[in-house]
Amino acid sequence: MGMFTLLPSAEKIITKRDARNALAVLEKANLMAFDTETTGISRTCDRAILLGLSSGPNRYAIWPGVMPYFTDLLQDPSKTLIAHGANFDAWMMLNVGVDITAYEDRKKARVYDTMVMSSLVSDFTPNDLKFQTRAHLGVEMQKFAQTFGLKGRSMSKPLEQILLDPSYEGITARYASLDAWTTYHLFFKLAAKLESMDAVAPYGNMMGYYTDIEVPFTKILWGMERHGMKIDTGWLLEKAPVFEAEMLEVEKWFAKKLKRFDFNIASTPQLSELFHKKLKYKPRSYTEGGSPQVNDVVLKYWVKHRGCEFAEQLLKWRNAHKKLSTYIVNILDNTHTDGRVHPTFSQAGTDTGRLASKDPNAQNQPPWIREAFIAEEGKVLLASDYAQLEMRIMAHLSKDGTLCKAIRNGLDIHSSTAAMMYDVPYDKIFAAKNRDDEDQPALSGDKELLGMRKAAKAIGFGLLYGQGKRALSEALHCDVDEAGEAMGRFNRKLAAIPRYFKGAISRAGENTYCQTMLGRRRQLLGYNSPMHGDVAACERRTKNSPIQGSAAEIAKLAMIRIHRNDYIYATGARMVAQVHDEVVFELDAAVAKDPMFLGELQDCMMHPLEKDLVVPLDTTTKSGKTWLEAK
């Protein structure tokens, strides 16, 4: 491919003299890329073995013995740093005593992440460094095992032993310095691409968007990861035996019913034999390989339509198993020695720009397990949550007068929509909702009124995800014609919304991408496909991505304002998680009740954009000793 026919020689930095010579060059540069070779991929347990640095025409591999000499260089707040997956490398350097944010101005960010940049350029291509380097620089990067010629038992050697083996010095220097060199040059290629992509004012283009939104957000996520969330391990250890006992009871039930003790309830072949051969149930769906599925959807169908005890018991076992393995064990495994989890937050993990996380997945913690997330002694957790954010964005984008008026008047959106759809007074539907929320005795007609609100809510959110009348009928447990009639009512009463979606689909079809309020793109090449299914999928994404992506932008900008707010910072309140439309803080109990703090927080959350939406944003704030209490 050869855009670069000759790479600069890799320089080994092993001695003090080597370090002085490299620093003499690097200290003159205002921009440099860094990368680490590490003992593993755990952010809290692993560390850097080697450091790669490049300021453009050079590439250095720094050995551990002289790495401390580069501390001042990396911590110099006047230097701009580039990395691919920046916060991982920041962790690896922190774990050997180098904190790249140690002397930074809190309100400024100086670390650029080419992984995040690549996700803005294209959301359908891999964003790993090897792929991006090949695509934009024409450089083919070898994998670790291939580079070092590892096979068989040599593959199991510790990475440190391989990288620091004197016989590999030349290979190690070339390997450890190449990532930094390619990252440096990749930055300029991606920056040029982003500059050519339009964005909404005040950003001008997507490079301005990246610099103003994503760069400071990388720094915020770094702080959140470092702070982490405290875990009540005792509570988790108390719960684990409860779910183990539930699983055991189900296993005993199966053994008794089948009169065999070797039945493996987790074995798909054995379950298929039980349901499809012994019970003679017809398969309802198949895997890509053609095997009958025994998934939860199928099991629930058999429970509902056949009253199947085996399916009911299996669902019970799977529920207990999921709670034990996916949540309790996973959180315990990821609890660090400081008693906290430090989730990995990814800016490039979703196509819409929403935040993703892992180890553990903070985005996917159900309410019951949030009781395990607690505050330090004397502190509380506080959650500030946007109210019906996506519906407000839909009102802004569609400019639907009826929806905008309801929001401006402070009405419950779904009750208001239902009132219009069914020509029923708003007060009657809203009162029925309040009685239901507060567990008060229902009045005659409440069930019908709540059903109307449920339909309005299902249609509203269904539109955001491109659902049709068949999906709506399943959500409302009604026939397809009835669902279609309800959708017709909605579309007639809020006519600007379907009109907006029609226009958005038309524009996206022409451009083969859709955009958020501020300009972030989602590629939709399926519009050019001759397959109806591909086009339909693009139409659904055109409806959903601009709204979900705009919600992500609002949350990010709010968090940037919060991070830069002097009063909030002075209180010691720290952001610890961001889940969809909710920002979670750990702070002193007294601060959670401080009117000025709450006022500053609300202002940051409700006015994150340079110009407000056509409808007001709204937030609810609640605090408690656990995340569950704060929700």
Neighbours of 138 (CB within 10 A): 12
pLDDT-wise least confident of 213-227, 283-297, 513-527: 283-297
Label residue 578 by pLDDT band (50, 70, 90). Answer: very high
**How would you class 67 by CB atoms within 10 Å of its CB: exposed for 0-12, middle for 13-18, buried for 19 or more?**
buried
CATH number of 390-545: 1.10.150.20
Residue 147 neighbours by CB distance under 10 Å: 15
Instruction: Tell me if the pTM is above 0.85.
Output: yes
DSSP 412-462: -HHHHHHHHHHT--HHHHHHHHHHHHTTPPPPTTHHHHHHHHHHHHHHHHH
Greatest pairwise CA separation for the chain in angstroms: 87
pLDDT digits (tens, 9 = 90+) for 42-84: 999 999 999 999 999 999 999 999 999 999 999 999 999 999 9
Band of the pLDDT at 153, cuts 50, 70, 90? Answer: low
Residue 467 pLDDT: 81
Residues 6+ apart with CB under 8 A from 390: 461, 464, 547, 548, 551, 581
Q: Give CATH for domain 11-196.
A: 3.30.420.10
Say whether pLDDT at 415 is over 80: yes
What are the C-alpha distances in Å from 626 to residues 385, 525, 572, 588, 629? 16, 45, 18, 13, 5
Give me the mean pLDDT over the 161-181 stretch. 95
Q: How do residues 364-402 score in pLDDT, each as one tens digit?
A: 999 999 999 999 999 999 999 999 999 999 999 999 999
Domain with CATH 1.10.150.20 in the chain: 390-545
Start-end ranges of CATH 3.30.70.370 in the chain? 343-388+553-630
Percent of the chain at pLDDT exceeding 90: 88
Q: Flag whether pLDDT at 4 surpasses 60.
A: no
Give CATH 3.30.420.10 domain extents, the chain: 11-196
The DSSP result for 236-267, as a single string, is HHHHHHHHHHHHHHHHHHHHHHHT-S---TT-
User: How far apart are alpha carbons 497 and 506 in whole angstroms?
Assistant: 14
Q: Does 300 score more than 60 pLDDT?
A: yes
CATH assignment, 233-333 = 1.20.1060.10
Looking at residues 566-573, what average pLDDT do you find?
98
Helix pair 413-422, 446-464: axis angle to 10 deg: 110
Q: Are 133 and 182 in contact (CB under 8 A)?
A: yes
Q: Which two tokens stand for residue 175?
A: 């390997």
Fold of the CATH domain 343-388+553-630: Alpha-Beta Plaits (3.30.70)
CATH 1.20.1060.10 region(s) of the chain? Answer: 233-333
> What is residue 2's predicted lDDT score, i.e. its pLDDT?
44
